[in-house]
Amino acid sequence: MSGSKDARRWRPSLRLLALCAAVVSLGADAATARPRPTTRPRPRRGAPTHANVKYGPYARNVLDFWRADTAESAPVLICFHGGGFVAGDKRAYARAARLYVPLGISVVSANYRFVRGPGSSPFPGTMHDGARVVQFVRHQAAAWNVDPKRIALTGGSAGACMAIWIALHDDLADPDSDDPVARQSSRVTCVVSHNGQTFVDPRLILKHIGGSPRIHPSLLAGFAAKTAADLEKPAFRKQIEAASAINHATKDDPPLLLIYGGRLDDAPLPATASINKSIHHPMFGKVLKDTLDPLGVACLLYHRDHRPPRGAETAFLKKHLKIAD
């Protein structure tokens, strides 16, 4: 019995000795180990090649750029976020970079001025910001290994509205400008639009789509109007017509892929329909397609009742940006 008790008394001491031996061993290893070389921190996976690049004089004139690893100059896809021209951020299109950069397409995602709030600008200021992104990227072509002849646009909702407007509008280049960016062309190769508005005219929206007579709250801010009645005044009508992409359509416009999530055949919508539904209605695309088809401009239209085939967006971009499989 006494021997058994002695053994139990020694057990804590044995554990302590084992622990001390382990500490000594670790200390010896640390003393003889070579110092680990210091390395530069790796960039975060998926991070832009260049972030928050200033492309213009305003606070929201910033963009992110992801460079494709190609020997030859790469085509570029410029992305504009949605948000009703009053919200949103360029981070919404980080996923586009993960998808297209491996295909050899560089990607740009840009912020732009809103139509309401600090630093805002009514139309056409927002549209001109988008056009300047195109001009800036073209100006950076050599530095960023971008092909200035292969520039595509994409966007969702308000961003799509902007992309379509830029694509259909006459070239905004000013060859006599002192600003080298402003001297660049704003013309593009093709457009992929998601739920984009092809016109912002309340008359046309109510005629072709229906829905709430209020149309969308951003329209008043977008044209610096106080009431819906103001939008019927001649000065405002002129701005509205200039801000509607469909009014700039010509036979030399680039091909467009228009994708909408709603049904086409439920227009005109009742006045009780949600503004979100009416402002993203595929009838925007149908009216534009009916305008472009006689001009010979390629315009693909998809919606809930005529869904795009799998990979339609990628196939469209690869075709018009001339990327071989």
pLDDT for position 25: 39
pLDDT for position 314: 98
Secondary element (H or E) of residue 53: strand 50-54
- For the segment 179-198, what is each residue's pLDDT rounded down to a tens digit? 999 999 999 999 999 999 99
| pLDDT above 90 (res 157) | yes
- For the segment 299-325, what is each residue's pLDDT rounded down to a tens digit? 999 999 999 999 999 999 999 999 987
pLDDT for position 11: 43
pLDDT for position 19: 37
The full set of domains in the chain, from first to last, is: 50-320 (3.40.50.1820)
DSSP 268: S
| pLDDT above 70 (res 123) | yes
| pLDDT above 80 (res 26) | no
Which has the minimum average pLDDT: 17-31, 93-107, 185-199, 265-279?
17-31
pLDDT for position 44: 56
CA 281, CA 59: separation in Å to the nearest integer? 32
What the block records as the tokens of 79 is 């992305």
More confident residue, 54 or 32: 54
- For the segment 214-261, what is each residue's pLDDT rounded down to a tens digit? 889 899 999 999 999 999 999 999 999 999 999 999 999 999 999 999
CA 231, CA 141: separation in Å to the nearest integer? 41
| pLDDT above 70 (res 140) | yes
Stretch 39-47: mean pLDDT, rounded?
Answer: 57
Q: What is the mean pLDDT of the chain?
A: 89
| pLDDT above 80 (res 28) | no
| pLDDT above 90 (res 271) | yes
174 — pLDDT class (breaks 50, 70, 90) = very high
DSSP 11: H
1 burial level (CB within 10 Å; 0-12, 13-18, 19+): exposed
36 — pLDDT class (breaks 50, 70, 90) = very low
CA 254, CA 233: separation in Å to the nearest integer? 33
DSSP 185: -
Q: Which of 27-36, 214-223, 285-294 has the highest mean pLDDT?
A: 285-294
Dihedral of alpha carbons 191, 283, 91, 57, sign: positive
